[in-house]
């Protein structure tokens, strides 16, 4: 995908824009049994659970790409006020959503 501005701020310096509307990107990942076993063992001694960290990094990247796709389908030039939300589904799935406001530059 070509360079596409996604920012957590409300204003884009040097640009005025019109609001198109909300855009979302959602992904749900399943943890595997090996990661769960490693996490269980790691919880005994403490420390980072790298398999889960990687899963969440990939989930966020996928959610951002899907959000960008939705914005591009609406002919947006950028997304402002981008945020993440996440949560567990059952005991072995993690859902991540990226959301923001799609805008079109008017200058």
pLDDT recorded at residue 71: 98
Fold assignment, 5-105: Translation Initiation Factor IF3 (3.30.110)
pLDDT recorded at residue 9: 97
Query: Exposed, middle or buried, 22 (CB in 10 Å: 0-12/13-18/19+)?
Result: middle
| Lookup result for tokens 């996928």 | 62
The DSSP bridge partners found for residue 23 are: 100
CA 4 to the chain's CA centroid: 15
pLDDT recorded at residue 29: 85
Q: What is the pLDDT along the chain (107 residues), one digit of tens a residue?
A: 458 999 999 999 999 999 999 999 999 988 665 555 555 555 666 777 787 888 889 999 999 999 999 999 999 999 999 999 988 877 677 899 999 999 999 98
What is the pTM for the complete model shown? 0.81
| Domain locations in the chain as residue ranges | 5-105
């Amino acid at each position: 995908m070509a360079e596409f501005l996604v920012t957590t701020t409300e204003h884009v310096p040097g640009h005025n824009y019109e609001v198109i509307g909300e855009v979302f990107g959602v992904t749900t990942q399943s943890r595997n049994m090996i990661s769960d076993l490693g996490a269980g063992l790691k919880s005994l001694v403490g420390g980072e659970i790298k398999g889960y960290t990687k899963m969440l990094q990939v989930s966020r990247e996928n959610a951002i790409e899907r959000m960008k796709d939705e914005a591009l389908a609406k002919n947006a030039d950028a997304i402002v006020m981008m945020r993440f939300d996440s949560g567990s589904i059952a005991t072995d799935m993690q859902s991540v959503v990226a959301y923001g406001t799609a805008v079109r530059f008017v200058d």
